[in-house]
Amino acid sequence: MAGQESSTRTTLPQVVAGADLDRRAVLYSRVSTTTGQDPEMQSREIREYCLRRGWGLVGEYVDIGISGAKERRPQLDRLIADAHKRKFEVVVVWKFDRFARSVSHLLRALETFRALGVEFVSLSEQVDTSTPTGKMIFTVLGAVAELERSLIAERVRAGLRNARAKGKRLGRPTKHVNPAQVAALRHQGLTWRRIGTQLGVSAATAYAACKGRL
């Protein structure tokens, strides 16, 4: 069943000594189809990892039959909501693309987790934001995303400059309104709003046409 909710598992035994033993971890896994794909493979590897780290696994969030391109995912949405409720300190996933649909989506989620004091671990990419290396990767990803946004904005500005240089008119095309038609409708007692609605323009445009400003 798509977006099937899985029950919270019992806390795994603490088997590794360390300063982060009291961290509560949750896993997130996802498969795109209900046939031929099994999220258990991802979940099993995450459980084993948490066991090695000595983290208590206090929740599992599994989206089944949910495309990675979808804006909303029931279990991921529930995970984010529980993060705000401070129900755990670590989110562990099998791979970036199981969790985020894009780099920008990943960065937004990581920024949210960082603000909430929640660490993020991806097993396949070997990224752990609680380590110096993980923090560096997060910073690099942020810089790449910012560079990408800057390049896109610069391409848009360059395109606008090029269009202006060629004499092209930018913005919405001007709607031509017949002043005589506006005057006739006004003579019938219609308000500027009603006139604009009838002619498919704003009330201000209808008024300007009547006054000869267009």
* Structural fold of domain 24-144: Rossmann fold (3.40.50)
Per-residue pLDDT at 48: 95
Per-residue pLDDT at 60: 95
Query: Are 75 and 62 within 8 A, CB to CB?
Result: yes
Query: Are 54 and 15 within 8 A, CB to CB?
Result: yes
Phi/psi at 170 (5° precision): -100, 165
Q: Exposed/middle/buried for 156, CB within 10 Å: 0-12, 13-18, 19+?
A: exposed
| 3-state DSSP assignment of residue 162 | helix
* Active-site residue, from 6, 7, 32, 43: 32
Per-residue pLDDT at 63: 92
Q: How far apart are CA 213 and CA 207, in angstroms?
A: 9
Per-residue pLDDT at 14: 37
Per-residue pLDDT at 177: 78
- Of 113, 107, 109, 114, nearest to 148 by C-alpha is 107
User: Over the chain (214 residues), what is each successive 10-residue block's mean pLDDT?
Assistant: 42 42 88 79 94 93 81 88 95 91 83 91 90 80 72 82 77 73 85 86 82 63
Per-residue pLDDT at 11: 39
Residue 164 corresponds to which tokens in the numbers above?
């202006």
Indicate the domain borders of the chain: 24-144, 179-210
pTM score of the predicted model: 0.58
Side by side, the strands of the sheet bearing 127-128 are 56-64, 24-31, 90-93, 119-122, 127-128
Q: How far apart are CA 196 and CA 191, in angstroms?
A: 9
DSSP-derived secondary structure letter, 63: E
Per-residue pLDDT at 4: 46
Per-residue pLDDT at 84: 95
Residue 143 corresponds to which tokens in the numbers above?
């810089």
Residue with tokens 């498969």: 31
> What residue type is assigned to position 148 of the chain?
E
Active site (annotated) includes residue 130: no
